[in-house]
Amino acid sequence: MPGKRRMRPVCTAGVHRLLLAAVLLLFVFLSGCSGSERNNAADGSASGGPRSASDAASSGGHPRADSADRASEGEAGGRTSRIAGNPQAAPGQLTAGEWRDVEQWEDWLNLLRSGEGTDNRYYWDYYRFDRLVVRAEAGGQPIADADVIVKDADGRLVWRTKTDMDGCAYAYARMFERDDPAANEDQRSMRDRDQRQYEDEPNRAQPGYDVEVRAGGESKMFSHVPIPRDKPLVVTFEQRPEPSNAVDLMFVVDTTGSMQDEIDFLREELKDVINRARKGAGQLDIEVSVNFYRDRHDDYVIKPYPFTADIDEAVRRIAREKAEGGGDYPEAVEQALTNAVSGHEWRRSARTRLLFLVGDAPPRDEPQIIDELHEATLEAAKLGIRIVPVASSGVDVNTEYLMRFLAAATGGTYVFLTDHSGIGNDHLEAAVGEFEVRPLNDLLVEIIRRFAGLPAENG
């Protein structure tokens, strides 16, 4: 049965090995994305029945205690796997679901208003999700990669982002700001007050912001725009710039734990993967970056590789990687994200930029680390990088929220492994609505095609 919404054991070695295997198999489809069409549903798929926001609210809210318990267990303790040592294990066996909070906004706000949601907003200091949706178009057609710049009444930059292939961008105000509590107000009272404010959101007067949208040499200005705003701000341009053919894909993978068996297995499959990837090469200009991270005091904290159009080399980089280290639960997620966003040459003009964050553990909840997460979030939004977390069986409630904060803030989507594969330990039951269960590799391919504005594989 699915894992309850409580602190859970860490990811098994076997599950994590298969997760990276699925990522490698994904390279089968990279070069051929524009030459084929996507399949909207995998054969034999099922629907999941996850927890609702009200269920999450009733599960209690003590995230810091949970994380402390997790850290005390140690990463390597008690790892078991139902697929460990199975030479027939292959990519495509893991099952996963997807939930895009920016498209289920009322559900997301209800979850944030819950006790669990409020606790996690204060745990990670992502206090508010006051949102403005911007749609850029010309002649009824969406404009991709348009710049959206939001400033307050004093001219200070509040948010900057880019539109996606649907012409949509998501801008936020005061995400990392909170009202200063009274000197004698404790943290719990402050959270309770904030929760009441969220419940009164429809009646709260909103300040106005200046919004500028730039596309193809044109610029449109809007003043006194309230945030949050009930309706999208539709911005119409005279000319529609042609979408770029550039697609930037980055995989940021946690390599702590025992991963060597997977890498050996992937090496056996490497030739087939590369040959299949070459069959459907099309017009899109795809570049891939693979990056690995562990934790402080390991042989390395981050191991980054630049973007490359050589898919073979990207596969070889994964195949060469060994997995070890990581003595406690938290990992150096913030350093990996900072390097991923700011330490690479993301292209200035692109059809889509996707950052897949594959992991099973949160960063430490230290003030400077949380500040670094915020900076990485802002920079990713500015560059138009959509963060797509891929959560495996070690993920606890706190980590789920952080991953969803990152996805919502950057216009990405949240992917999570499920129990339907029968592989590994129980997975945390995500606090989402009904979703389709699919093979992980098929789901990731579909996400890439969708964000790149490509048709269905068999449509």
Decide if 305 is inside a domain.
yes
Q: Same domain for 227 and 248?
A: no
Mutual orientation of helices 367-383 and 397-410 as an angle, nearest 10°?
Answer: 30
List the domain range (segments joined by +) for residue 210.
128-236
User: Looking at the domain assignment, is residue 110 inside a domain?
Assistant: no
| Helices 187-199 and 105-113, axial angle in degrees (round to 10) | 150
User: What is the Cα–Cα distance from 64 to 120, expressed in whole angstroms?
Assistant: 9
Note whether 76 and 182 are same-domain residues: no
Please tell me whether residues 249 and 224 are part of one structural domain.
no
Q: In whole angstroms, what is the distance from residue 115 CA to residue 180 CA?
A: 20
Shared domain for 394 and 339, answered yes or no, is yes
Q: Write the pLDDT tens digit of every residue in 95-112.
A: 889 999 999 999 999 999
DSSP code for 11: P
The whole-number average pLDDT for the span 57-61 is 47
Distances from the Cα of 185 to the Cα of 17, 64, 181, 188, angstroms: 47, 19, 6, 8
User: What is the distance between the alpha carbons of residues 14 and 152, in angstroms, rounded to a whole number?
Assistant: 49
Question: Per the structure, how many domains does the chain have?
Answer: 2
Strand ranges (E), 33-167: 46-48, 95-99, 130-138, 141-142, 147-151, 157-162
Selection from 21, 24, 66 nearest residue 400 by Cα:
66
- Asked whether residue 65 carries a pLDDT value surpassing 80, the answer given is no
**Picking from 115-119, 243-247, 325-329, which range would have the lowest pLDDT averaged per residue?**
325-329
Indicate which CATH number applies to the domain containing 184: 2.60.40.10
Domain of residue 386, CATH code: 3.40.50.410
The residues pairing with 386 across neighbouring beta strands, listed in sequence order, are 354
Q: Which residues contact 71 (CB under 8 A, 6 or more apart)?
A: 328, 329, 330
What are the pLDDT digits (tens) for 264-286?
Answer: 333 333 223 333 333 333 678 88
What DSSP string runs through 407-434? HHHHT--EEEE-GGG--SSPPB--S---
List the single range of 54-63, 106-115, 420-429 with lowest mean pLDDT.
54-63
* pTM for this predicted structure: 0.82
| Residue 277 phi, psi (nearest 5) | -65, -30
